[in-house]
Structure 1
Amino acid sequence: MSVAGRTAVLALALAGGLAGSQAPEFAQQYRQRLGGAVDEMRQVVADFDADVRRNGLDRDEAVALYAQSPEPFLKDRGLSMKRLLARFSILSRQEAELELSEPLMRPVIVFRNPDQKIVKGAWQIYEPAVPVTVAGALWALSGLSLVGTFAWLIGKMLRFLFLQRRARSEVPSS
C-alpha cells in the first residue's frame, strides 16, 4: 500500500477511534436527560396515583373513566395519561438497567432501545469529550479497530481492482 493509502487508512482509523470514544459520553448525557425525564414523570404519576387512591380507584379504572367520558377533552386527557404511564414504565426500566450496568455496556443499552425524544434532546446539546475512563478508551479502541480494518480492506480492494484494470489494459490484443 502506498504512503498516501497508509496515511488515509490511519486518518480514517483515528477518526473511527475518536467517534467510538464518544459513545460512553453520549450515553452519559442520554442517561442524565433520562434521569431528569423520569424524575419529572415520577412526580406527575405520584400526583395521579394520589388522586386515584383518594377516589378509591386504581390506575386502570381511572384511565377507563377518562375513556368512557362523553367529553372529548377528558377522553384526550385519558389517552395522554395512558401514554405517559406507558412511557414512564419504559423509561424507568431503562434507567434502572443503565444504573445496574457496567459503564462499558451503557452505550449498548442506549443504542439498543433509545427514547427518541431523549436522543434528540441529548444530541441537540451534545458536546464531545475526551474519554478518560476505561470504557471510553475501550470504545475508542473499538472504533479505531473497526474503521481502520474497514478502511484497510477497502484500500486493498481498490488496489486489486486498479491492478486488474491495469493488467487488462496492458495485455496486447492479437
Structure 2
Amino acid sequence: MILRTMALAAGLTGAATLSQFPEFSQQYTQRLGGAVDELTRVVAEFDRDAETVGLGRDEALRQLATGGDFGAARAESLRATVARQARLSSDLAAIEDAGPFMRARLAAHLADPDIAARAWENFRPGLPMTFEGAVFAGAGFGAGWLLLAALVSVLRWPLRRRRHRAPIMARAGRIEPGAPRRANG
C-alpha cells in the first residue's frame, strides 16, 4: 500500500512538473525573440558603422582590436555578440513556429542559460487547461510512476529471496520427490 501511494505521488509530481513545459517553453521563446531582436540591432548598428568608413565586419573588428587594450576588449565582446546573435537566431528559427510537442522534441534549442534563467524568474506555474498541457501531464505522470517503480525494483532486487522449486515432473504430480518410480504395466 505504501509503494502504491509513493508511486501515485511520484506520478502526480511528474504530471505537475511536465505539464508546465508548454507554458515555460512559450515564455522562453518570447524572451529568445526579444534577445534576438536586440542582438540583431546591435550587430546591424556595428555593420552600418563599419560600412560608413568602407569596412566589412571582419576588417572593422581587426582594426578595433589594434586600438589598444580597450579596443581589443571591445572587439572581443563584439565578436562574442555576433556569435551569440547567430546562435540564438538559429535557435529561434528552429522553434519559433513549432507547437508545444515539437518544442519538446527541439528542447536542445531551449538551452541558453541567461534566457532560461530570466524566463524562470518570471514563470509562475499554473494548472494547464489545454490539450497539450493535459498530454504533457499524462506523460509526466507515467514517467514519474515508472521512474519510482524502476527505482524500487532496483532497490529490492538484492533483497529478493530465491524460491527453491521442486523439479518440473514433481510439480506436475507425476513423480514425488524421493519416491521410487513405479513401473507401468
TM-score range, shorter chain: 0.7 to 0.9
- Larger radius of gyration between Structure 1 and Structure 2: 2
1:154: how far off? 3.0
1:130: how far off? 2.1
Q: Which amino acid aligns with 2:5?
A: T
Q: Which residue number in structure 1 is paired with residue 69 of structure 2?
A: 72
Secondary structure of the 2:143 match is: helix
TM-score, normalised to structure 2, is: 0.78
Cα distance in 2 for residues equivalent to 1:130 and 1:59: 48
Q: Which residue number in structure 2 is paired with residue 53 of structure 1?
A: 51
Segments of 4+ in structure 1 off by > 6 A? none
Secondary structure of the 1:130 match is: coil
Cα distance in 2 for residues equivalent to 1:58 and 1:160: 66
Q: Which residue number in structure 1 is paired with residue 23 of structure 2?
A: 25
Q: Which has the higher contact order (CA 8 A, sep 6+)?
A: 1
1:136 to 1:11, Cα distance in 2 relative to 1, 3 A: same
Task: Name the % identity.
Answer: 38
Work out whether 1:123 is the aligned partner of 2:115.
no
Pairwise CA RMSD: 2.1
Q: Which moved more, 1:31-40 or 1:99-108?
A: 99-108
Q: Which amino acid aligns with 1:4?
A: I
Gaps of 5+ in 1: 168-174
Hey, which of these two has a bigger chunk of helix by percent? Answer: 1
1:81 to 1:159, Cα distance in 2 relative to 1, 3 A: closer
Q: Which residue number in structure 2 is paired with residue 171 of structure 1?
A: none
1:110: how far off? 3.6
Cα distance in 1 for residues equivalent to 2:55 and 2:48: 10
1:1-31 C-alpha deviation (Å, 9 max, x unpaired):
xx22211111110110111111122211111
TM-score, normalised to structure 1, is: 0.82
Gaps of 5+ in 2: 164-185
Q: Which residue number in structure 2 is paired with residue 134 of structure 1?
A: 131
Q: Which moved more, 1:117-126 or 1:128-137?
A: 128-137
Q: Which amino acid aligns with 2:146?
A: T
